[in-house]
Amino acid sequence: MVFGLNRQSVRRVPMTSADVAVLLALGAALVSALGSVIRQRSAHEIVDKPVGAWELFRLSLRDTRWWLGAVAAVANYALQAAALSLGSVMLVTALQVTVLLFALPINARITHHRVTAWEWIWAALLAGAVAVIVAVGNPAADQQRAPLETWLVVALVMGPALVFCVLGARIWSGAVAAVLLALVAGSSLALFAVLTKGVVEAGEGGVGALLRAPELYAWLAVALAGMVFQQASFRAGALTASLPTMTLAKPVVGWILGITVLSETLRVDDEKLFVLVAAVMVMIVSTVALARGEAATMEAVNKRRSKATRQPLAPSER
């Protein structure tokens, strides 16, 4: 009877580029969770009156915590870029919803809030659904860059829609404004993911080729827009409205752009198509449930902190 294995019989399975892309994307989600928690707290405490998206951004530049969140955002972007150089937009953006899984214990530690049983259940369902999508869907990249004509069509479709969202957020307030700004933020970050593929390929040709690539300047613009409107959506209304919208907008818009702009595909058998569709539905439902739960916790903490700072002084302290 053999109780052990010979060294010759143990074969190391080499990691594929897709495996490395998964690890990098999960690392990006972890860093993003840290940055999001910091920026959420900064957005609610930086000013006590309603301000616009760009004014909030200007005021945030004075806040040390915002800069910590910004450093985490840059690290997140760098890890995403590395992941996208090896994997598809569909793969990386699908894994970005795991930011909620990492944010769950981080929020619990910072706010001293106990994670409920339902939150753990939704987290487990989300993790399982993402794993099924990655394993069964097997997203594959086809091309790194799109022709200018394709990007013009994207601009004609997305440009007016995003402008309408920004203008609508100025007309309406509360949850509606939060959802509209979250759509802009999530869509901007999805565009960032798609443009990253072109920036990485252009960078392979040297600094000169990178500076001549139009994707570079659009990439920088949407990265800034994503940060600005993400911060604004946190401030505009209930986090229970903005956080689920933003978390879902990025993978949904990213998948649409990946398929239409970069011709990405899902390599799935007909027999497994039902499993993939079911996993996507579970991912959507669990993402919304988990995001709403985390947002409700953060709002409760912010309200308690706000009441504590407004408590009247005792007679002996006046």
pLDDT band at 317 (very low <50, low <70, confident <90, very high): very low
Quick one: tokens of 40?
Answer: 């959420």
**Cβ partners under 8 Å of residue 236, min gap 6:** 169, 173, 174, 177, 178, 181, 242
Count other C-beta atoms under 10 Å from residue 96's C-beta: 25
pLDDT of residue 158: 93
Look at 46-50, 126-130, 176-180, 276-280 and tell me which has the smallest mean pLDDT. Answer: 46-50
- As a whole number of Å, the end-to-end CA separation of the chain is 83
**Residue 147: CA atoms inside 13 Å, Cβ hemisphere, count?**
2
Q: Give pLDDT tens digits for 276-302.
A: 889 889 988 888 888 777 767 666 666
pLDDT of residue 311: 52
Q: Give pLDDT tens digits for 186-212.
A: 999 999 999 999 898 888 888 888 899
Please give the Cα distance from 216 to 224 (Å, whole number): 13
Q: Using the predicted structure, report yes or no on whether residue 217 has a pLDDT greater than 90.
A: yes
Q: What is the mean pLDDT of residues 244-259?
A: 88
Would you state the torsion angle of the CA atoms of residues 285, 290, 296, 298, taken in this order, to the nearest 10 degrees? -150
Please give the Cα distance from 13 to 30 (Å, whole number): 26
pLDDT band at 248 (very low <50, low <70, confident <90, very high): confident
Count other C-beta atoms under 10 Å from residue 72's C-beta: 20
Q: In which element (H, E) is residue 280 found? A: helix 273-309
Q: Give pLDDT tens digits for 152-171.
A: 999 999 999 999 999 998 88
Look at 41-45, 147-151, 222-226 and tell me which has the smallest mean pLDDT. Answer: 41-45
